[in-house]
Structure 1
Amino acid sequence: MRKLPGIFFLILFLWSSSAFSQQNPDNDAFTFGEELNFEVSYGWLNLADAKLQINRRSHTQNNRPHYKIDVYGKTKGAATIFGKVNDNWGTYLDTNTVLPSLFYQNIEEGKYRKHEKVFFDQKNGKALVELYEKDNKTLKSAKEYDLPGPIQDLVSGFYYLRTLNLENMKPGEVVLIKGFFDKEIYNIKLIFEGTERLETEIGIKDTYIFSPQIPKNKLFRGEYPVKVWVTKDQNKIPVKIKANLFLGSLNFDIINAKGLRNN
Structure 2
Amino acid sequence: MKQTFCVFLLMLLAAFSVAADFPFPVGEELVYSVSWNGIPVAHSTVTTSMDLFEGREVLALRVRTRTAAFFNHIFKVDDRIESLIDPKTFLPIQFTKNMKEGSYRCHEITRFDFEAKLAYYEHQTNGTKKEYAIDADTRDILSFMYFMRSELLESESTLNYRVMSDEKIYDLILHTDEVEKIDLPGYEKKIPSLKMVPEAKFDGLFVRKGKATLWVSRDDRRLLSFAKVKVPFGRARIKLQEVNGPGDDFWITEKKNDD
What TM-score comes out, normalization by structure 2 length? Answer: 0.81
Cα distance between partner residues in 1 of 2:124 and 2:8: 22
Cα distance between partner residues in 2 of 1:26 and 1:149: 24
1:94-130 Cα deviation digits (max 9, x unpaired) = 2232221110111112222222211112343210112
The total of aligned residue pairs comes to 240
Structure 1 counterpart of 2:104, one-letter code = Y
1:54-203 correspondence runs (5 A): 54-55=48-49, 57-60=50-53, 63=56, 65-76=57-68, 79-133=71-125, 140-166=127-153, 169-171=154-156, 173-203=157-187
Structure 2 counterpart of 1:11, one-letter code = L
**Aligned residue among 243, 248, 251 for 1:257:** 243
Identify the residue that residue 194 of structure 2 maps to in structure 1.
208
Cα distance between partner residues in 2 of 1:103 and 1:196: 33
Identify the residue that residue 257 of structure 2 maps to in structure 1.
none
Cα distance between partner residues in 2 of 1:124 and 1:181: 19
- Asked if the contact 1:2–1:82 (Cα under 8 Å) also holds between the matched residues in 2, the reply is no
1:214-235 Cα deviation digits (max 9, x unpaired) = 4499x978xxx42111111111
Cα distance between partner residues in 2 of 1:202 and 1:191: 28
Distance 1:14 1:240, change over 3 A: closer
Distance 1:236 1:61, change over 3 A: farther
Cα distance between partner residues in 2 of 1:98 and 1:30: 12
Structure 1 residue 34 and structure 2 residue 28: aligned?
A: yes
More relative contact order in 1 or in 2 (CA 8 Å, sep 6+)?
Answer: 2
Structure 2 counterpart of 1:206, one-letter code = P
Q: How far has the Cα of 1:180 moved from its partner?
A: 0.9
What TM-score comes out, normalization by structure 1 length? Answer: 0.80
Structure 1 counterpart of 2:98, one-letter code = N
Give the secondary-structure state (helix, strand or coil) at the position aligned to 1:207.
strand
Q: Identity of paired residues, percent?
A: 22
Structure 1 counterpart of 2:10, one-letter code = L
Identify the residue that residue 4 of structure 1 maps to in structure 2.
4
Cα distance between partner residues in 1 of 2:14 and 2:214: 10
Distance 1:71 1:156, change over 3 A: same
Unaligned stretches of 5+ residues in structure 1: 18-24, 135-139
- Asked if the contact 1:14–1:214 (Cα under 8 Å) also holds between the matched residues in 2, the reply is no
RMSD over equivalenced CA pairs, Å? 2.9
Distance 1:104 1:216, change over 3 A: closer
- Asked if the contact 1:38–1:256 (Cα under 8 Å) also holds between the matched residues in 2, the reply is yes
Structure 1 residue 241 and structure 2 residue 241: aligned?
A: no
Q: How far has the Cα of 1:261 moved from its partner?
A: 4.4
1:11-48 Cα deviation digits (max 9, x unpaired) = 3377589xxxxxxx985541221111111112331111
Distance 1:159 1:14, change over 3 A: closer
- Asked if the contact 1:102–1:118 (Cα under 8 Å) also holds between the matched residues in 2, the reply is yes
Distance 1:127 1:262, change over 3 A: farther
